[in-house]
Amino acid sequence: GAVVSQHPSRVICKSGTSVKIECRSLDFQATTMFWYRQFPKQSLMLMATSNEGSKATYEQGVEKDKFLINHASLTLSTLTVTSAHPEDSSFYICSAKDTDDHEQYFGPGTRLTVT
Amino acid sequence: GQNIDQPTEMTATEGAIVQINCTYQTSGFNGLFWYQQHAGEAPTFLSYNVLDGLEEKGRFSSFLSRSKGYSYLLLKELQMKDSASYLCAVLPNDYKLSFGAGTTVTVRA
């Protein structure tokens, strides 16, 4: 099956710093990648949708200047959390799909802790 | 917005059967997914239904009724490792997966 990787799996950063999370599709071309955030005991909430070579589409309430998304190639999307605050601490999960597939393939997630 | 409802928690005994119901009201329908998620891990795909009826895959089965906006996931011969959160997710017209809050299943010996 299709494999999606995320890096890093865990990151701890200080308040005010920025952190970058990478999402890679390893064995297929991902025309669309999705970024989700999941707080403890809650379900996945879509943050943004990115299509290769174009600007990401952000969901209502998600600050595009704080959560920078780059989908520069068909196998890589990055999410940068800028000026991180403790309330940004969460589990960030990416998923990827190609044009002809209805199924999204999820990465293993990144646990971000902002101190 | 999309509305997807599923029970918060269910408990069952090892070897038993548990049925997790999911009802949805969405803007269009392009399929319904069930995912399993263990604590601290990403969701893993269990099933996809786009037509009415029952899809069986080993110990897990999923049912869909589009006219009723209803699905269920049936877990048979429960094992301890099945203790996890089960997420119902619908693909509406905008093709952005919308997730239910998840059902935490606890399997007891």
For residue B22, give the nearest of B60, B53, B63 by alpha carbon: B63
- One-letter amino acid at A40 equals P
Our CA dihedral for A8, A14, A18, A21, rounded to 10 degrees, sits at 10
Q: What is the residue-averaged pLDDT of chain B?
A: 95
Q: Which residue of B has its CA nearest to A4?
A: B42
Q: What is the residue-averaged pLDDT of chain A?
A: 92
> Whole-angstrom Cα distance, residue A51 to residue A16?
28
Q: What is the pLDDT of residues A87-107, one digit of tens each?
A: 999 999 999 988 777 788 999
Q: Which two tokens mark A38? A: 């999941």
A40 pLDDT more than 90: no
DSSP code, position A61: T
> B49 vs chain A: nearest CA distance in angstroms?
11
Chain A (63-82) residues lying within 8 Å, Cβ to Cβ, of chain B = none
Nearest to A103 among B48, B87, B98 (CB): B48
Instruction: Give me the pLDDT at residue A98, please.
Output: 82
A1 pLDDT more than 70: no
When pLDDT is cut at 50, 70 and 90, the band that residue B95 belongs to is confident
Q: Which residue of A has its CA nearest to B44?
A: A106
Residues on chain B touching A42 (C-beta within 8 angstroms): 101-102
**Average pLDDT of span A54-81:** 93
For residue B105, give the nearest of B64, B71, B76 by alpha carbon: B76
Instruction: Give me the pLDDT at residue A31, please.
Output: 87
Nearest to A43 among B41, B42, B87 (CB): B87
**Average pLDDT of span B37-47:** 91
A80 pLDDT more than 70: yes
Q: What are phi and psi of A47, to 5 degrees?
A: -95, -45
B43 reaches A (C-beta below 8 A): yes
**Average pLDDT of span B79-95:** 94
Instruction: Give me the pLDDT at residue A43, please.
Output: 85
Strand partners, A54: none
**Average pLDDT of span B28-53:** 93
